[in-house]
Structure 1
Amino acid sequence: MPIEEAAAWIRQADGLLITAGAGMGIDSGLPDFRGPGGFWGVYPALGRARIAFEAIANPAAFERNPALAWGFYGHRLALYRQTKPHAGFAMLQALAEKLERGAFVFTSNVDGHFRKAGFAAERICEVHGSIHHLQCAAACSDEIWSADSFQPEVDNENCRLMGDPPLCPRCGQLARPNILMFGDWQWLERRSALQQQNLQRWLATVDRLVTLEIGAGTQVATVRHFSERQPGRLIRLNPDEPEIARHPDALALPLGALAGLKQLYQALA
């Protein structure tokens, strides 16, 4: 059975590279933004205004309408803070503890849930940044700081920030999440670049690598492309797009994040 083969691969590995896309968060109750219908179902005010995800998740939105842009990101920040990572995160940690070199996380998710679930900060690479960190919207400097002190109050019906937005401590202008957005030339990538350096150092210590990709789709294919470029074996968990092309040693499992991780965990028990 494929799940038994995947478990055998992990058993033989000395390091586990966990690559995760948006599908990793669905079992925690986080919304799925695939397609305008799904996105506007979560943000009906943006649906009424016919504002697509690509238009609001865009630095231009902070220039046009800061209250609306921070209504969207403030709601997401509060949601990610309130939501508990699902049990699959703990299963991944348990699997990693059995391996000589442990695990490293590479994710396009900005929700911070791997860190919240207990993964070490130095073993996480958030390639698109994190909503829990801020930067100047005008990129007046390369400073990136924690969003912990910002407690957004959002009018969810109208997707608008009710209070004051966060400001840059250096120039006093509007701050924004340190997230790579669509059409984004102002994103400060220093934090993510340092994480990628940590990842490359870790990869250099691993001889028998297995990449376990979870919930990474083709719409934003950063994670899929990264997974397929790695040496060693690749296991892909994806209920909708499990196919793997041009990889000599791979298993495609049409399973969601939590269901797939439960089966792997049981097979490795």
Structure 2
Amino acid sequence: MTDWLNEKLEKAAGWLREADGILITAGAGMGVDSGLPDFRGREGFWRAYPALQHRGFSFEDMANPARFAEHPTLAWGFYGHRLTLYRETVPHEGFAILRRWADRMPLGAFVFTSNVDGQFQKAGFAADRIHECHGSIHALQCIERCTNDVWSAEGFHPLVNEKTSELESPMPRCPHCGALARPNILMFGDWGWIDLPYEKQREGLAAWASTVSKLVVIELGAGKALPTVRRFSERSARQRLIRINLRESVTNPMHGVGFDGAAEATLQLIDTMIA
């Protein structure tokens, strides 16, 4: 271990020992260690969804409400596959480390994540301590927005043809008007997303953060391509940001320190320094 890395680890561990609360900010890289696919670039996306490569669709093309209007069985094939994948995924050990750190602190933790996979809830984080800034795949809404209601996707069990990436089971419908339902997720070019549940989450996060005097921000797997999480981390950090990123860990010293590495392994490394 280099002296420079050891110095950063000691600094991060010291902040965590002193903290009365931690803000966990997470992007897509947080789920990769749990076995979730990396959609970075078209090639990464097409490795996960080869049928969509033949059609020439990128992640941005599929994560778009226009697909539900133009080709609903393909749109729901894509999201139905993801829904099943997230339901079956087991959160990696890094989640448990974060929970253990939070449990030692007077004000615990709050999560801010652009991930729609529900992995923090599955790992045992309280639902009222999570702000999902891009929504959740585990909730549905009406594509026609006949109502501002959202409802659980629990009763929807998609059957997807792996060769065509199309949904073969019945598509979910709005219980109010019978129109097609869609995931309650913020997509590209999306003016119909119902964000009311997440506004309440945002208000809860702001109220919690106002009570924390020795806040540490731990950012995990948040890239620059969609910088929502990175920017929120930097605005919130109070010069105590711990940024963990496999490819884009560069951090302004005014914000905190950065670590090149995967989420799980780096959290384990920091954990050994705290004990």
The TM-score with structure 1 as length reference comes to 0.98
What residue in structure 1 maps to residue 3 of structure 2?
none
- Unaligned segments of structure 2, at least 5 residues: 1-5
Q: CA deviation at 1:244?
A: 1.9
| Equivalent AA in structure 2 for residue 226 of structure 1 | F
| Equivalent AA in structure 2 for residue 71 of structure 1 | G
Partner-residue secondary structure (3-state), 1:211 = strand
Which of 171, 177, 181 matches 1:175? 181
Distance 1:162 1:112 in 2: 24
Distance 2:21 2:160 in 1: 42
The answer on whether the counterparts of 2:135 and 2:195 sit within 8 Å (CA) in structure 1 is yes
Q: CA deviation at 1:194?
A: 0.6
Distance 2:197 2:267 in 1: 29
Q: Which structure 2 residues correspond to residues 2-151 of structure 1 after superposition, within 5 A?
A: 2-151=8-157
Q: CA deviation at 1:231?
A: 4.2
Distance 1:204 1:195 in 2: 14
Q: CA deviation at 1:267?
A: 1.2
Distance 1:231 1:74 in 2: 36
The answer as to 2:227 corresponding to 1:221 is yes
Where has structure 1 moved over 2 Å in runs of 4 or more?
A: none
CA shift digits 1:126-150 (9 cap, x unpaired) = 0000000000011111000000000
The answer as to 2:259 corresponding to 1:253 is yes
Q: CA deviation at 1:255?
A: 1.5
Q: CA deviation at 1:100?
A: 1.1
Partner-residue secondary structure (3-state), 1:236 = strand
Q: CA deviation at 1:249?
A: 4.0
Distance 1:128 1:150 in 2: 21
What residue in structure 2 maps to residue 234 of structure 1?
241
CA shift digits 1:63-115 (9 cap, x unpaired) = 00000000000000000000100011011000001111110000000000000
Distance 1:88 1:204 in 2: 26
Distance 1:239 1:99 in 2: 28
Query: C-alpha root-mean-square deviation of aligned residues, in Å?
Result: 0.8
Equivalent pairs counted in the alignment come to 268
Partner-residue secondary structure (3-state), 2:79 = helix
The answer on whether the counterparts of 2:237 and 2:255 sit within 8 Å (CA) in structure 1 is no
- Unaligned segments of structure 1, at least 5 residues: none
| Equivalent AA in structure 2 for residue 236 of structure 1 | R
Distance 1:238 1:52 in 2: 24
| Equivalent AA in structure 2 for residue 243 of structure 1 | V
The TM-score with structure 2 as length reference comes to 0.96
Q: Which structure 2 residues correspond to residues 178-193 of structure 1 after superposition, within 5 A?
A: 178-193=184-199
What residue in structure 1 maps to residue 250 of structure 2?
243
